[in-house]
Amino acid sequence: MTGHNNPTVVLVHGAFADGSSWARVIELLRARGVEALAVSNPLRGLAHDGDYVASVAGQVDGPVVLVGHSYGGPVITHAATKAANVKALVYVASFGVDKGQSALSSVESFPPVELNTSLVPQQFPDGDDTDTEFTIRRDAFPSVFAADLPDDVTATAAVSQRPIAARALAEPLSVEPAWKSLPSWFVVATADNAIHPDSQRAAAGRLGSTTVEVDASHAVALSRPTEVADHILAALTSLS
């Protein structure tokens, strides 16, 4: 990549999604002259995924703003401790974890969400053994993940989910979180049935994030891309 002083936005998807979930946000950022890159999050384990995202961010020539959706939030929290060029963090409908917390433990004191009863366990090979990964039950996918998107979109998304390893959601953060040393922003999705909105609000408060609330499902980056892009642009503006 060519060297520059303008930050690159590196977007990290969460469970059950892929890089295409950022497509509308990327279009809006590019229209404003902002370089954006969507990473393929492995979804295999928090430290593993965080190290991978750090390796991608660290190879960007210039400063980086890391953006994480859902489980991507804990991943950027880890990754930014390993990539010195990361200058800010943006959390989108995300878990907010501290050292010793996992995605699951960070929300256990909040009301249950529909996601909890909609997960389908499957087995995948892991060396000489097998391990468990989860997808969302197809008939529940629209209401859990994307109730404010058209049926044709959610039907396709339901059959193209990226499974997440159970250990990724249960693995505690092993490093001091990057949000303790970097500025952060947070988009709370107030109609989220995957991560309770109150847990998002509490996370944003714990992180000391500049926060905006959007009336949207968990798929807020697809259903309300303008608001998400605007919050990322606010982070970029603060750095300049």
Domain residues of the chain, as ranges?
8-112+171-239
With contact defined as beta carbons under 8 Å apart, do 232 and 69 qualify? no
CA distance 96 to 106: 7
CATH 3.30.465.10 is held by the domain 8-112+171-239: no
Beta bridge pairs of residue 164: 134
pLDDT at 3: 43
Distance from C-alpha of 74 to C-alpha of 71, rounded to nearest angstrom: 6
Report d(CA 144, CA 53) in Å as an integer: 26
Average pLDDT over residues 128-148: 97
CB within 8 A of 156, min separation 6: which ones? none
Name residue, tokens 């039950």: 137
**Contact yes or no for 49/168 (Cβ under 8 A):** yes
Place 221 in a pLDDT band, splitting at 50, 70 and 90: very high
* pLDDT (0 to 100) of residue 1: 34
With a CB cutoff of 8 Å and minimum separation 6, the contacts of 173 are 46, 74, 77, 78, 97, 98, 99, 100, 101, 102
| Residue 223 or residue 126, greater confidence | 223
Average pLDDT over residues 214-239: 97
Query: What's the pLDDT tens digit per position in 82-119?
Result: 999 999 999 999 999 999 999 999 999 999 999 999 99
Ramachandran bin of 11, using left for φ above 0, alpha for ψ from -120 to 50, beta for the remaining angles: beta
- Edge-to-edge strand order for the sheet containing 64-69? 36-39, 8-12, 64-69, 86-92, 184-189, 210-214
